[in-house]
Each structure stands twice: as structure tokens, then as C-alpha cells.
Amino acid sequence: MMKKSIIFLLVLAMVLSAFLAGCQPKEEPVDTPQDEVTETPTEGGGDEVAGPPSEPMGQIIIGNTTELSGDWVPYWTNIAADYDVYNFITGYGTVDMTFEGEYLINETVVKDYTVEEHEDGSKTYTFTINDGLVYSDGSPITAKDYVTSVLLWSSPQVQANGATATYGYDLLGYDAFNKGESKVFTGVRLLDEMTFSLTINPERLPYFYELPMVSVAPTKLSYWTDETVDILDDGEGCYFTDNFTTENYKDRWDVARYGTTEFPASGPYKIVSYDESAKTAVLEVNENYIGDYSGQKPKIKTIIYKKVTQETALDELATGGVDLLFGMASGDEINQGLDLVDQGGFSYTAYPRSGYGKIAFQCDHGPTQFVEVRQAIAHLLDRADFARAFTGGFGSVVNGPYGESMWFYQETKSELNNKVNHYPYSLEKAIELLEKGGWIYDANGNPYQEGIRYKKLDDGTLMPLIIEWASSEQNAVSDLLVVKLQENPDLAAAGIQINQTVMTFGDLINYLYRDDTQDPKYGVPTYGMFNLATNFSPIYDLRNTYTTDPEKIKAGYNTNFLIDEKLEQLAIDMVLTDPEDREGFKQKFVDFIVRWNELLPDLPLYSNIYHDFYNDKLQNYNMNSLIRISQALLYAYVTE
């Protein structure tokens, strides 16, 4: 049991030191301490291997407890599992990212580029792309395909069909184009067959993450429309031909977003099948893919992505039903996985999470619209106890929207923890908050004595303190919340009732986003509380997450439905920072978290030390919290 004893000691060390260098390269992966090298090889597996194959071979079956919906592109529902598949099949971006989180121009795609600063403060990047890039279906990729991505996923037409449309949010002319005030997107130019330019809005500069603002991947226009739609540029910017309307193409979008074999992949893999009933996608190597920024091409021939349950996931790994389980978070499953590694034939990788598990509140209806209710619930859940119970010691409690791995949290941790409310467990404090918030009546309008509390609204009606909770099925966090919160006697003593409704994760997401394009019932505010988790990319930009813009909220952003202009401005200020001003960014991060922590749109539950467990046949698997599973597997291979 050597691994278990060492990994518990490593948890504290990783949390304190793994990312203090601000996501700089590390000499050793976090799961390979010097005295463990022989037991946990860097490349997975205990036997020496000859190295990666010259041609793709073998397969890896990935198991994920989050089920696929088949809605691949991240503009409608954006479920994490679907987004994983999207990243396997999407590539050739103008900007790519290293394993250490460094953004760079992708020279596999970009033949040449220039940067021009203008007197008004705007900045234009002009890209000429390389010849010879093609989709998985063999059709050529030109500058128009890059322009298509910006225009299509910024358009009011797809937005009217329920999609988020903020792809070109940072570019000059986005607002007028997105609102339908202008058919021309002035900040996007199609200069010739292989050259286009993007002009960043001066109001978005300086920006701490500038290079990703001009990161664009290709989209095949005819796949999402037909051969009659075109993009033109008369010298003032790009625009669609007049036949591009929601009415003409909404039916096409509802089919294209779920495409499989016909989906024109630009990434290392293409979809060859999807089984809706089994929630399983099969991907194979895209033979036309020539590599990422370093020229890396896939060495694993087939990727199978399937739904597993938390109860049986590690049993499936042990028996060969899956080969890889990534992002395992609970203490029970981690300990079970470490036992499996001890038995031989399996390896693991551990890394701090760039995210957190949470209770998400909706703040515009029902009792959870009132901050005192959200804060009272925080005082009625012992989060340290919950985190220990769920993570088994492989995690910690956070007090805002961040994870232990983030460099700006690690470098401000002491200051931040002195400024935020930790919401210690206290029935007395919860009652005090509820009384302050006006929850002082019983069902008959008399002074509260016992049972469920009521609040008198402005119209004179009484609102009961009953919270409707949406939770996904077969979910260990949900099960623990039932014990630690819903059935906690102090919850009833405080006068609160929580009703749980168990549903599929897809249904939960539709209710969370209020996506009435799937069914009108989802558009009706129904649940005030959801349990799920959030992971962050290296671009920590929460402007749209807490936007107050009604159109953006309608488009699917700000699923908390929290309208607070101060919080939104703090999110804006944080990223409108010069890329060289790390100290300024860190201080703005602290200011933002302090305000967030007071409003409490989410109740953070834990931030894990993630563990990935896999069959020893998987080699050179170096996952971390900055990259996605698609990038880790692009550099891995199998021996079999």
C-alpha cells in the first residue's frame, strides 16, 4: 500500500507548491516523486517499451461518468463530455497552447502573420494560412473557413435558434453585428483566398490573455448551411449573403450539431459512430490531419468515449471494459483506483484541479434569489467535513470560483483567505441571516415559531422557504448532499425545506440554461439549486459568466441569473489588464473574489486532486489541469 501513504503526503505538497511558479514547466510530473519512479513510471506501465509506433495503432476506451448527448459543438448545451469529443475533432486553430499553458501562434496553420496597432487603440492581426490543409472529408480549408467561424458563431441568426453567439466578442464591430444592427462585421476581413484579418476592439484592450482573442479554428460553411450561402467582403468587413436566415437554416443546424460520420473534422480524430442509447462515441484517426503546433499527429488509432457509472467505473477498468478513467474526484474511487494500481497492470496520474464542485444557485426566482438564503445554506453545510467525506483527503475547500491549481490563487491565497467569509457551520448564524432577510412569518402570516419559514413579498403574498433542487442520477455528490444538507436536522430547525428532483444530466443542463429550444418546459424557471462542477481553462475570464446584458443571458450565459453590475465590472477589470502586469491581475482577482464570496451565486464544495487511472498499455500520458484529454492523448500511444 506504498502509493496510498505517499499520495496522502503529496496532496499537501502539490496544493502548496505545484503551481506557485505560475504554470511554468516542471521537471517531473506531479505523480512521479523521486522515490516513486519505479512504481509509477512517467509514461505509464511498468515495462520498458520501444517507443511510439510509426503509424497509429490500437485503441483506448475512455470512461466518463458525465454522459454524452451527441450535441458536439459548444454553442447550445456545452456538456463537458460532448466538449471533449469536440476537441478531438476540432483543430488547426491560429493559436495553440503548450502543456504548460503558454499560448503561441500555430505555425502548422499560419504561414505568416502581422500585428498592427492603430491610433484608436485597436489592434489588427493579419493571418496568411498554409496551403494544403483539408477537413476529414477531403475538402480544402481556406481563409473563408476561419472567417466563417467568427461570423457564424457571432451571428444573431444562430443566437435566435438558442445558440450562444460570442465567438467574435472581442473584435471590432461585434456588438452591431450580433444585435443585427449591421450585416457587416467590420473587425473581420477576408483579404484573399488564404489571408484574413481580425481587429480587436480597443475597448477590450489591454487584455491579460491577448493572443487567444485571435485564436480561430476553421468551420465549413456549407456543412452548416448549403452551397448557396457565401461570405463576402466589399472592403468594409465580412458579411453573409442575404439568404442566410434563421428561418432558412434552423432545421439544418438542429441536424448538423448532432452530426457523426458527415461532420467535417479539422482535428486529429473524426467521429465514425455514436450510439445514443449507450451514450458511446467512436472516433478514429483523421488521416488528413497534419499535426498541432509542434507537428504532433495521433498515435492511437481509435478512441472510444463511453458513459460509465461511478459505482462500476473502476470495475470496468479492472475487467477491460474501459482503459482510461480521467478526472476521478471522490476519495472512495481514488482509493479503489490506488488499490488496483497496487495489484499491477495499471498506472495513475494525479494533478490539482483547475475548478471546483459546487451547488449552483439561480438568483432570479424562488427563495434562492435572496442572498440571505444562499448565505444561510452555506452556514448549514459543514463544507470542510463534506470535502473530506467526498474527496477522502484528496482535495480542499475553496471560497470562490477557482481551483487549487491556479497560479493567481496560489500567489494570493493568504491575503484572500483573510478577506473572504468562510461561512463556518452555524445554525445560529443561519437563523440570524434569515430573520434579517425577512423570513419571519409562518404560513398564516403570523410571527414564525416553527416549521417552514415564509417571507412577505412586495405584493403582499407569502413565499415559503422551500428550495427545489435538481440533481443528476447516480451521482455521489448528490447522495452526500442528501445526507449532509437535505436531511440535516439543523436545516429543518432553521425553517428551510429542500426538495430533490433526480434527473439525467442532460435534463439538468437544459433546466440550468433554460433551453426552451429543446422543450418549452426547460424555459420555465423551476429549480433554484443545482449540484455540478466547473473547470476553468487557462483563460480566466468571467465577464460573460456574470454578465448583466439581457441578450447574453438569454443566449445562455450567466446561468446563475445573478444581476450585479459591480461583480460584472470587477470581472471586466480583471482581464482588462496588461499581459505583463501580473501583480495588477492578482489584486483584481482578489477584489473580484471578495465580492463574489459575499453574493454567493455558487456554494463551493471542494477542489480536488484529480486522479486519472489507466491500463499500462497507455504510454506517455501526461495529463495536467491546464490541458484537455484530447491533447494528452494526442501525445500518448498504446502498446498491445
Q: What is the pLDDT of residues 347-406, one digit of tens each?
A: 999 999 999 999 999 999 999 999 999 999 999 999 999 999 999 999 999 999 999 888
Tell me whether the omega of the peptide bond preceding residue 550 falls within 30 degrees of 0, making it cis: no
What is the structure's pLDDT at 562?
98
Compute the distance between CA of residue 600 and CA of residue 529 in angstroms, rounded to an integer.
12
Q: Which residues of the chain have pLDDT under 50?
A: 1-48
Summarised one tens digit per residue, pLDDT across range 300-349 is 999 999 999 989 999 999 999 999 999 998 899 999 999 999 999 999 99
All 3 cell numbers of residue 479?
447522495
What is the structure's pLDDT at 26?
23
Strand runs (DSSP E) across 65-156, as ranges?
95-97, 103-105, 110-117, 123-129
- Assign 113 to helix, strand or coil: strand
Quick one: 250 exposed, middle or buried, by C-beta within 10 A (0-12, 13-18, 19+)?
Answer: middle
- Assign 280 to helix, strand or coil: strand
Compute the distance between CA of residue 392 and CA of residue 388 in angstroms, rounded to an integer.
5
| Dihedral sign for Cα atoms in the order 310, 311, 316, 318 | positive
Q: Which residues contact 61 (CB under 8 A, 6 or more apart)?
A: 304, 306, 321, 322, 323, 324
- Annotate 163-220 with three-state secondary structure: CCCCCCCCECCHHHHHCCCCCCECCEEEEECCEEEEEECHHHCCCCCCHHHHCCCCCC
Q: What is the pTM of this model?
A: 0.77
What is the structure's pLDDT at 518?
84
Residue closest to 97 by CA, chosen among 636, 638, 624, 582: 624
What is the structure's pLDDT at 17?
35
Alpha-carbon torsion, ordered 179, 180, 182, 183, to 10 deg: 130
Give, in order, the Cα–Cα distances in Å from 289 to each of 218, 266, 284, 509.
Answer: 13, 7, 12, 33
Q: For the beta carbon of residue 86, count every other beta carbon within 10 angstroms.
A: 20
Determine the number of helices (DSSP H) and then strands (DSSP E) in the chain: 21, 24
Domains of the chain: 2-88+272-351+610-638 (3.40.190.10), 91-256 (3.90.76.10), 355-608 (3.10.105.10)
The number of C-alpha atoms within 13 Å of 470 and in the hemisphere containing its C-beta is 23
Compute the distance between CA of residue 32 and CA of residue 375 in angstroms, rounded to an integer.
41
